[in-house]
């Protein structure tokens, strides 16, 4: 009985035999004909047959319909790759809006980068470092988003206002702020691996020749089966790449510190304000700040926290990615009140530091 349990028992053996029989009768060549279409996509919005309308909504040029993710039935991987390709185009489109519509300039990082090394960049208004009054610094969250974006999903499925930092930038410029837009997810470049860079297994072995030959045969058979399965599961094997990190900007935290040291701390502004979405706020939580969090409560309602965090209020939405957009009017109101409080010597809003003291005493 114990031997049967260890070997799976007669029932398991029957199932295994039946499965082998089924697999032997499958026409593998026929299966291979069901490969996904080529992973080749347009490199422009027009090529995708989409455009942003006058309301900043992404719409199909011919039908006027919103973006459709499941463009091809039962091909999730292909649809995902198509979505990512569109996202890359939108990133470039937002960069163009920052420069052409918001009149920001693109600044290369590191500031002393040589021509051949990997580089990142940020965007700044012309007066960012010389404005003596106010400077606004915008920092997005983690993931695929880049400078000027809050959430790719909102840009594609909602509109440019809710998904990008453009309303913040325009409002700030109207109110006399200098502006710096960080790019904390641009941390490395990807290059294709060459054969010399792909690690190879050693041929040197102390094993007997017969044992080594038997092992090689097993490995070859295993590799053959694995390659076939991989070809069926992933018929268009993507190229192997390696990441080369950008000097002093290899992570969101490094990027934030670098921009602080080389730009923000060198600015002439008497008042520096930060709007940091999601992960972007971690580097700045100890500053005098207010955290608009996702909540079912109305906008600006105080929200309790178990952590010694900065003051938390509701953003008026339960959707995390919408918090920066929904709290937009309250953020600038908070800025104005902070400046008035400073100028009139009124006690400012409690900071994380003062909250922490109370927490530690408790």
Token pair of 287 as six digits: 């500053």
Tell me phi and psi for residue 179, to 5 degrees: -135, 135
180 pairs with which residues across the strands? Answer: 124, 137
Tell me which H or E stretch contains 242.
Answer: strand 241-245
Q: Are 267 and 178 in contact (CB under 8 A)?
A: yes
Interstrand relation of 134-139 and 271-276 (parallel, antiparallel or unpaired): parallel
- Specify whether the backbone of 99 is left (phi greater than 0), alpha (psi in -120 to 50) or beta: alpha
Per-residue CA distances from 93 to 96, 104, 109, 354 (Å): 5, 14, 21, 43
d(CA 342, CA 338): 6
Q: What 8-state DSSP symbol labels residue 190?
A: E
Say whether 278 is catalytic: yes
Q: Active site residue: 125, 162, 278, 314, which one?
A: 278
Query: What are the catalytic residues?
Result: 278
């Amino acid at each position: 009985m114990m031997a049967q349990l260890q070997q799976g028992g007669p029932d398991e053996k029957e199932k295994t035999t039946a499965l082998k029989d089924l697999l032997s009768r499958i026409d593998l060549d026929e299966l291979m004909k069901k490969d996904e279409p080529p992973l080749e996509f347009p490199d422009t919005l027009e090529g995708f047959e989409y455009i942003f309308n006058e309301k900043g909504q992404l719409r199909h040029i011919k039908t006027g319909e919103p973006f459709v993710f499941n463009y091809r039935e039962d091909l999730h991987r292909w649809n995902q790759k198509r979505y990512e390709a569109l996202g890359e185009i939108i990133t470039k489109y937002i960069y163009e809006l920052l420069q052409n519509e918001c009149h920001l300039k693109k600044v290369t990082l590191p500031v002393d980068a040589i021509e051949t090394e990997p580089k990142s960049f940020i965007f700044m208004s012309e007066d960012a470092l010389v404005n003596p009054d106010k400077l606004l610094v915008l920092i997005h969250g983690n993931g695929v988003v880049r400078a000027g974006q809050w959430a790719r999903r909102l840009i594609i499925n909602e509109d440019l206002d809710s998904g990008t930092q453009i309303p913040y930038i325009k409002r700030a410029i109207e109110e006399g702020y200098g502006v710096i837009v960080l790019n904390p997810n641009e941390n490395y470049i990807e290059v294709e691996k060459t054969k010399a860079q792909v690690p190879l297994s050693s041929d040197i072995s102390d094993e007997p020749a017969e044992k080594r030959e038997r092992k090689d045969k097993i490995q070859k058979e295993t590799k053959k089966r694995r390659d076939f399965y991989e070809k069926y599961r992933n018929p268009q094997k993507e190229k192997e790449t390696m990441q080369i990190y950008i000097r002093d900007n290899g992570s969101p935290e490094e990027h934030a510190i670098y921009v602080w040291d080389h730009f923000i701390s060198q600015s002439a502004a008497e008042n520096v304000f930060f709007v940091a979405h999601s992960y972007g706020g971690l580097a700045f939580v100890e500053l005098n700040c207010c955290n608009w969090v996702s909540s079912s409560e109305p906008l600006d309602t105080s929200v309790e926290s178990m952590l010694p965090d900065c003051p938390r209020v509701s953003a008026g939405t339960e959707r995390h990615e919408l918090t920066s957009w929904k709290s937009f009017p309250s953020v600038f109101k908070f800025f104005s009140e902070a400046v008035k409080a400073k100028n009139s010597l009124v006690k400012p809003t409690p900071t994380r530091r003062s909250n922490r003291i109370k927490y530690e005493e408790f």
